[in-house]
Structure 1
Amino acid sequence: MAQTQELFSSSLPQTLWCAEQVKTQEALLAKQQGISLSQLMERAGQAAFAYMQSRWPKARQILVLAGGGNNGGDAYVLARLAKLSGKQIQLLELGQVEGLPEEAHLAREAWLAAGGRAENLERINWQCDVVVDGVLGTGLASPLREPLMELFSRVNQTKAEVLALDIPSGLCADSGRNWGQVIQATATITFIALKQGLFTGQAAEYVGELVLADLGVGEAFEQQNQSSVKRLPRHLLDPMLAPRSRLAHKGHCGRALLVGGNQGMAGAIRMAAEACLRSGAGLVNVLTHGDSIGTVSYGRPELMVSAAALRQDQFLQQATCCVIGPGLGQDDWAKQLFIWALDAAVPCLVDADGLNLLAKQSLHRVDWILTPHPGEAARLLACSVAEVEVDRVSAARQIQARYGGVCVLKGAGTVIAGEEQQLSICCAGNPGMASGGMGDVLSGIIGGLLAQLAERYSLFEIACLAVNIHGQAADLAAKQGERGMLASDLMPFIRQRVNP
């Protein structure tokens, strides 16, 4: 088993890559290792078979879907190994066999030489234990057509476990886009390096458990290439949260100014303000609508709450950061307060209606963090939500380029884009976060960390840390169940995570 485990790993590296970066390096990496591309394909099939054996040791009936490219070649290798081990294999060939790449053709010949054969679709017995998806891999770059749409739908209706090779077929390897129909995998084994589309967009719905088989060339690939895209492992940024000095007092921990909470929307600024406190800000001032003061201050006397009015410049002068937008609204009161708050000569966080107001103006700053959800991102880019969701990485980069600072595009696989092409994707979080107020809590966390850390760390680093804490706090809260989880349920876990 120790030898088997060396072929794949659930311990994933930090760096993410575009599929083309990996594809163009395969021949060079194989040559450096003194092996052929066929041998590299053999390693991929061996790793996939070893993982299948480890994950489903009792599986006997295996259906292998082999496409017309190198992903199909990996599938032929797995099918041959599985057959030789005594399993009962059905193999369905998809695409033109005559057009197979040389390595995939050799893998097919080896499968046939081992006594394998291809089945007709009409003769497939769908009552199997495992379906192996080797149809499309990372090469798909356009919407699916029939008959693959119907086939993928049929796979998704089976009760069998599904193992995807490299990436679930139908999912874009770079953006996580659904090209019309995606095979829903129980697990995905990806090869050589991690593709960024496995971590954002609609990937969370289809990838399942993810493991990496670097095929003995992953380390060389990482050393010889550069990527500005990173994933955020759980404890990567914890050193930013070093223990405080024994002499620390509230003045050392920053003063955050939060602006928002129009009539009927006090809850948003209230949750943001408490999350700011729970993240460790020394002092939190809230400027809100006069009608909201009671709601904001009730049950949290540590907040300093005042009715917002113009020419309250002492609040801007005292603040070490400013959060503008939760519950702000878009009426004249909100517009005037928005313009006033952006005069702060301190790092700012803009969220919610602050972003909707920003979309109507042409402003660019290097010292702010913008936290749109897909709808707000669409307004910032003057496009549709669908266009944002098609390529979340690109959308985050565009917002950052247009407005400056840092963009945090929220959603499954939150994307954080900073200056100089810096980009991270957060893997923490869960569907329980699909409830009102979660974005307000994130705004408060970012504000609390800005208040404490802006003098020592970049806005990009702070945004990454805050998004990680937010998602991890939600994962801890979800242990009692995802459905019915409230944004305020995160509060005790935020405190837990800022004290690693």
Structure 2
Amino acid sequence: MVEKNRLPYSVWPIKSLNKLEVDAACYLNISLYEIMLRAGNAICNHISKYWPDAINWLFLCGHGNNGGDGYVAARIAKISGKKVTLISYSNEIKDLSREAQIAYNEWISIGGKIHEVDAKWPDKIDIIIDALLGTGINRVPNSAYSSLIKKANLHSAPILSVDIPSGLFASNGNVLGNAIYASHTLSFITLKPGQLIGKARDFIGELHYIDLGLSSFFLNKKAPILRFDSSCLSYWLKPRRPTSHKGDYGKLLFIGGNIGTAGAIFMAAEAALRTGAGLVKLLTYKENIAPIVGTRPEIMIDDIKNEYVLKESLLWADIIIIGPGLGNNNLAKDILNKVSLSKKPMIWDADALNFLSTTKDKCCNRIITPHSGEASRLLNCSLDEIEKDRLYTARCLSNQYGGIVVLKGAGTIIVEEGKIAIADVGNAGMASGGMGDILTGIIAALVGQQLTLFDAACAGCIVHGTAADELASNRGLRGILATDLFKILWKFINPDIKKI
């Protein structure tokens, strides 16, 4: 069993899973029912570990293999002395999948009873096992399933969802009707995208994983989606050479900060310094210069309106970051047109993305970092369409605009042509102004430290989210400021040192 926070790094799309399970069974010379038996045992073992005092178990079983897992677990629980009630979507064996039919008969053979959807629930329930819909759902649950989902959510007992909370789409984390609010979710064989992105965090509870003994089959298979967390930081962030100097860690040019919005570009620039950038220069409006110099003298700063300064700064820079607080006036558009001609690594964020949505410029040397609202403008579609399938959205952005796409949100998605990653970090405390600007600066600093654009984007998202997770664990989710991350970023950009 791989515990929470030690989840695997491979995520497989749903369309691959049925074939993979069949191929794995053939490879290991076991039956599909043997895999179902292992799943049932895993369910019982998980409940015994996390709810050891649970005596009264309620199983909600559907007609697919998810329901079959439930029948197996119900039989094991009953044999072990638990008080088991099983409610099934269908009490007709002909409606079940082949493996689920075997599990059904095994349940009946020990005197197990099957109650219909509208049956009265026991007065005493210690744990609810959601084995209703599983990973195959692609439409709104019908009224029978929906009624069971609603009733389970209203009950005070904890809920363990088998593979994925019923009603949550395993392909993309979307919810079209009702879905189970799980206390724990126990994922089998592989992780699925819908457990990590979209609305997943509202429903998944604590995510756990067990490979059901199939891991050897997957050893030499490359998953199409990668999952990264804080344990990956040492892969990207190596110790510095003792003889290195500031020129080795990038000359970063930040452009933005209109009157009244200077904080955005200032936070991005300081975040780059805090993440180890060698040299940081900022072009902004004259009115912003004195306050920034007085607060952070390590930042070089000049007038954004000076054409000569802009030209020289673009030649000087190794990496160009543009957009936070830039505004949408003629000067901003003129600067963006000039920057768009650069072949140097670039990061476009905030107002730069609004400009990009009108030009539709495609570029391979650029990272774009849209949130959902910016993505909707970039793709000229509704916010609902974006949220319905964020994985598809990220792919569309990559196809249309090129380079690297960082689609921010719960389960941030990073895409480069041929590569997809999910940043499995972060929390709701990050829903505050300036967080995106901090992320932009972190990623920029990592580009300056010789990471590829894709690796810098992935590592930046992990550093950013992990720092926020530490703040939330110590202080709660409310009241976290973006600049609070500055105090602890050092812990996560130096994974080689012992933490104080």
Superposition TM-score tier, normalisation by shorter sequence? over 0.9
Deviation at 1:218? 2.8
Equivalent in the alignment of 2:228: 232
- Residue in structure 1 matching 2:421, options 421, 424, 442: 424
Q: Structure 1 counterpart of 2:467, which letter?
A: A
Please name the residue that 1:386 is paired with. 384
Cα distance per residue 1:69-121 (max 9 Å; x no partner) = 11100000111111111111111111463210121011011111111102243
Equivalents in 2 of 1:108, 1:191: separation in Å?
20
235, 239, 251: which one aligns with 2:247: 251
Written as runs of structure 1 = structure 2, the 5 A alignment for 1:425-444 is: 425-444=422-441
Cα deviation 1:319-377 (Å, max 9, x = unaligned)? 01011010111122221222223333310000011101100002111111000000101
Q: Which residue of 2 aligns with 1:332?
A: 330
Q: How does 1:27-176 map to 2 (within 5 A)?
A: 27-95=22-90, 97=92, 98-120=94-116, 121-125=118-122, 127-176=124-173
SS of match in other structure, 1:417: strand
2:276 to 273, 277, 280: 280
Letter in 2 for 1:190: S
Contact 1:262-1:334 at 8 Å conserved across structures: no
How many corresponding residue pairs?
489
Change in Cα spacing, 1:239 to 1:66, as seen in structure 2 (3 Å) is closer
Q: Percent identity?
A: 41
Pair 1:443–1:9, CA change in 2 (3 A): closer
Task: State the partner residue of 1:348.
Answer: 346
Q: Tell me if the contact between 1:193 and 1:218 (Cα under 8 Å) persists in the aligned partners.
A: no
What TM-score do the two structures reach when normalised by structure 1? 0.95
Match of 2:359 in 1: 361
**Is structure 2 residue 293 aligned with structure 1 residue 297?**
yes
TM-score, with structure 2 as normaliser: 0.95
C-alpha contact 1:271 1:437 (8 A) present in aligned 2: yes
Deviation, 1:179, is 2.6
CA distance in 2, matches of 1:440, 1:110: 57
Question: Structure 1 regions of 5+ residues with no counterpart?
Answer: none
Q: Secondary structure of the residue that 1:147 maps to in structure 2? A: helix
Q: Are residues 1:460 and 2:457 paired?
A: no
How much has 1:127 moved relative to structure 2? Answer: 4.0
- 1:285-310 Cα offsets, whole Å, 9 max, x none, are 11112222234333111111212023
Q: Name the CA distance, whole Å, in 2 between partners of 1:213 and 1:281.
A: 40
CA deviation map 1:204-249 (0-9, x unaligned): 11112222221212320343x4322100032324233222222222
**Secondary structure, aligned partner of 1:412:** coil
Query: 1:261 maps to which residue?
Result: 257
Q: CA RMSD in A?
A: 1.5
Q: Does residue 462 of structure 2 align to residue 477 of structure 1? A: no
Residue of structure 2 in register with 1:493 after alignment: 488
Using the alignment, how far apart are the partners of 1:197 and 1:191 within structure 2?
13
C-alpha separation in 2, matches of 1:76 and 1:203: 26
**Deviation >6 Å, runs of 4+:** none
Q: Which stretch has the larger CA shift, 139-148 or 68-77? A: 139-148
Supply the distance in 2 between the matched residues of 1:281 and 1:265 (Cα, whole angstroms).
Answer: 23
Q: Residue by residue, what CA displacement relative to the aligned partner does 1:48-73 show, whole Å, maximum 9, x if unpaired?
A: 11111111100011110000111100
- 2:441 is the alignment partner of 1:447: no
Q: Aligned equivalents of 2:461 and 2:365: distance in 1?
A: 18
Instruction: Kindly provide the amino acid, as one letter, of the partner of residue 396 in structure 1.
Output: A
Q: Which amino acid aligns with 1:260?
A: G
SS in 2 for 1:360: helix
In structure 2, the partner of 1:194 is 191
Q: Secondary structure at the match of 2:178?
A: coil
Kindly provide the amino acid, as one letter, of the partner of residue 84 in structure 1: I
More deviation, 408-417/344-353: 344-353
Of residues 369, 372, 388, the one that matches 1:371 is: 369
